Amino acid sequence: MPKIAIDTTIVENKSITDDVKELIVYAPKIAQQAVPGQFVHIKIATGEPLLRRPLSISNVNVEAGTLSLIYRIVGKGTAYLANLRTNDEVNCLGPLGNGFDLTCERPLLVGGGMGTAPLIFLAQRLNPRTTTVLMGGRNKAEMFWQPMYEGLAKEIHITTDDGSMGTKGFTVSALPELVKANQFDRIFVCGPHVMMEAVAKFAKEHEIPCQVSLEKYMACGIGACLSCTCVNKLGDKRKKVCTDGPVFWAEEVL
């Protein structure tokens, strides 16, 4: 499955909230090959910013040949990206990284913040399995995800730090009840590091195989520069988040 770097045309770059947008790019070759958990590394402008930016593939439309990337405006690169318009071009390098392991029957998907994005694509490909989604955010304004999971999950549970939507608290607080009520054979989690640690710890205690998706600063995105390595808990060599990950079994890296 060769990786490619191609100029792609922006089909749409639409606002979801004040600081979150969804970018749809036409990249049929990448759309065809991509699996959930993979990302693209995009070069936003010709000159500055210099480096590419990694963004998870939040969904693909193989027929239309498009990728959806949902991103939060946090710095220079994403701010510039937010200004681009339909028909502008960005260079996409992808599909990168490995994907989630789909050999499960009754998965629980746990997303926190922007980590909820790649789980949409995952939920889609897990179909027709019975899928439960648990998602957390700081407040109601951050919980715009629900419509995107329409028809993809049996049930959706929401927690917010401030209680403005769903249950007040962190996602991990909602786990005991969910696990009691369902026979999960897999937990997939993507979100802030502390959240993934907490969920992975819970999963381990309950002996549910758990996969996490890590985020690291990346230069090459293809395993050459070693910007992104993390400690491999199961061996002596480090793991590269860009090629060995971003999806890992929790016990490998947490």
Partner 1 sequence: MLSSETMLEIDIAGIKMKNPIMTGSGTFGFGEEYSDFVDLNKIGAVVVKGTTLLPRCGNDGVRIAETPSGMLNCIGLENPGVEHFLSDILPRLKKYDVPIIVNVSGNTVEEYGQLAKILDVYGIAAVELNVSCPNVKEGGIVFGTNRDSAAAVVREVKRNTSKPVIIKLSPNVTDIADMAVAVEEAGADAISMINTLIGMVIDVDTWKPVLGNITGGLSGPAVKPVAVRMVWQVAQVVKIPIIGMGGIMTAEDAIEFFLAGASAVAIGTANFVNPSAVEDVAKGIQEYLVKKKLTHVSQLIGQLKVNK
Ligand X SMILES: Cc1cc2nc3c(=O)[nH]c(=O)nc-3n(C[C@H](O)[C@H](O)[C@H](O)COP(=O)(O)OP(=O)(O)OC[C@H]3O[C@@H](n4cnc5c(N)ncnc54)[C@H](O)[C@@H]3O)c2cc1C
Ligand Y SMILES: Cc1cc2nc3c(=O)[nH]c(=O)nc-3n(C[C@H](O)[C@H](O)[C@H](O)COP(=O)(O)O)c2cc1C
Closest CA to 44 of 76, 16, 86: 76
CB of 236 to partner 1, least distance (A): 8
Residues 216-245 that bind ligand Y (CB under 6 A): 219, 225
Q: Based on the shown chain and the rule CB under 8 A, indicate whether residue 226 belongs to the binding site for partner 1.
A: yes
Q: Which does 2 bind (CB under 5 to 8 A by kind): partner 1, ligand Y, ligand FES, none?
A: partner 1
Q: Based on the shown chain and the rule CB under 6 A, indicate whether residue 38 belongs to the binding site for ligand X.
A: no
Q: Which does 114 bind (CB under 5 to 8 A by kind): ligand X, ligand FES, a second copy, none?
A: ligand X
Q: Which does 48 bind (CB under 5 to 8 A by kind): a second copy, ligand FES, ligand Y, none?
A: a second copy
* DSSP E strands, 27-185: 39-43, 53-56, 59-61, 66-72, 89-96, 107-112, 132-137, 155-160, 167-168
CB of 83 to ligand X, least distance (A): 12
Q: Which does 180 bind (CB under 5 to 8 A by kind): a second copy, ligand Y, ligand X, none?
A: none
Which residues in this chain contact ligand X in the complex, by CB under 6 A? Answer: 39, 49, 51, 53-56, 58, 70-72, 74-78, 114, 117, 215-218, 246
